[in-house]
Amino acid sequence: MLMISSSLEIKSHQVLHTISHLQSQFALKTLGSVTCFLGFEITRGADGIHLSQTKYTIDLLKKTNMLAANPCPTPMNQSNKLHLQDSDPFEHVTLYRSTIGALQYLTLSRPDIAFLVNKLSQFLQSPTQNHWQACKQILRYLAGSIGEGIKFTHAHTLSIESFCDSDWASSLDDRKSTTRYCVYLGGNLISWSSRKQKSVARSSTKAKYRALAQVSTEIMWLNSLLSEIGIHNHKPAIIWCDNVGAKQLAANPLFHSITKYIEIDIHYIRDKVQRKEIEVRNRHHHTEKLCSSFAYSKAISHEIDDDNQYSHEQENNMIKQAF
């Protein structure tokens, strides 16, 4: 059982009282401050808490014989456009499926591979040689970044801030878009997602607006969870979006007459904006944050990293720690 306390001292009065009460009802052993839990390693420092899956990553690399592989700086080549039947079928289907399943659990501490794992999981039924080579590149990327994870630092305010985007018609097989978002609580990354949209978007604005609706739903759930534990945010949550059309649709109901093709449930975000529970802003002024969010829905080439001085270390600092 994992016990969470606001006190850093294991022998604080509240913690000891709770442990004593549990011991009166059950036979238990106190293990002290958590260092490992469900495959996660937790390390504490003066600047915060670091969450990683080092042993899990090493075991995965050993299982796939990739521990001694040459590391690569990015998890996927930008020029590699994955789609169904893009090469010969991969014979070891079980190996492909088990590896992707293991990588999905690894995304809980490695959001930098979330988009790529989601993309490869779309080919579980009939993987190809190209899909397996893309999977091996992710493993090579992990081999060069063992021990990386998410860092949580002390926050003075628990305000919610999120970034959302979509890659319009990115799927070469059905032209569905990919929604990605990340949510920060007090500057700490706590939620992220990268997934294909369920229907085809007729415009980039519609795809972006769907992404706004999805992240707003996540924010409302987080607000409800925080309220249950006594934390109330009196300021509206901020959503940064780089599409002016989607931002205007969220705030101005006069555009409804020319956007009737957008489903009614997509306008969920507009109701939250009018209630001042969410505020949508343009994120072009946050260049570094915009670059770091690319990893959730696009492959970034090593050349682009060099041109923009966007190194692997900067990616880890911005994506897995704080913007």
pLDDT in tens, 124-135: 999 999 999 999
Mean pLDDT on 47-73? 93
Residue 230 lies in a domain: yes
Residue 34 lies in a domain: no
CA distance linking residue 85 with residue 66, whole number of Å: 25
Residue 137 shares a structural domain with residue 237 = no
Chosen domain end from 101, 118, 143: 143
Residue 217 shares a structural domain with residue 286 = yes
Residue 168 shares a structural domain with residue 273 = yes
Residue 249 shares a structural domain with residue 199 = yes
Residue 162 shares a structural domain with residue 119 = no
- The gap between the terminal CA atoms of the chain, to the nearest Å, is 32
Mean pLDDT of the chain: 80
Q: Which of 80-89, 95-104, 287-296 has the lowest mean pLDDT?
A: 287-296
Domain count, the chain: 2
Rounded to 5 degrees, what angle do the CA atoms 221, 175, 92 make? 90
Give the CATH number, domain containing residue 166.
3.30.420.10
CB atoms within 10 A of CB 225: 10
107 band by pLDDT with thresholds 50, 70 and 90: very high
pLDDT at res. 146: 93
Going edge to edge, which strands form the sheet with 40-45?
36-37, 40-45, 48-52, 149-152
Residue 160 shares a structural domain with residue 238 = yes
pLDDT at res. 241: 83
Residue 25 lies in a domain: no
Could you tell me which residue, 254 or 53, shows the higher pLDDT? 53
296 band by pLDDT with thresholds 50, 70 and 90: low
Residue 61 lies in a domain: yes
Cα-based distances in Å from 158 to 35, 153, 168, 232: 25, 12, 32, 9
Residue 125 shares a structural domain with residue 168 = no
pLDDT at res. 76: 85
* CA neighbor of 167 nearest in space, from 122, 115, 109, 120: 115
CA distance linking residue 166 with residue 218, whole number of Å: 16
Residue 170 shares a structural domain with residue 214 = yes
Its domain, for residue 267, covers 156-305
CA distance linking residue 245 with residue 168, whole number of Å: 14
149-152 vs 48-52, strand pairing mode: antiparallel
Rg of the Cα trace of the chain? 22
Residue 7 lies in a domain: no
55 band by pLDDT with thresholds 50, 70 and 90: very high
Could you tell me which residue, 261 or 219, shows the higher pLDDT? 219
Residue 104 lies in a domain: yes
Residue 173 shares a structural domain with residue 136 = no
The answer on pLDDT for 302 being more than 80 is no
Residue 95 lies in a domain: yes
Residue 263 shares a structural domain with residue 284 = yes
Residue 321 lies in a domain: no
* CA neighbor of 76 nearest in space, from 319, 305, 298, 294: 298
Percent of the chain with pLDDT over 90: 36
Residue 200 shares a structural domain with residue 96 = no
309 band by pLDDT with thresholds 50, 70 and 90: very low
Mean pLDDT on 173-201? 89
Chosen domain end from 91, 109, 143: 143
The answer on pLDDT for 294 being more than 70 is no
Chosen domain end from 114, 143, 172: 143
pLDDT at res. 81: 85
Residue 80 shares a structural domain with residue 176 = no
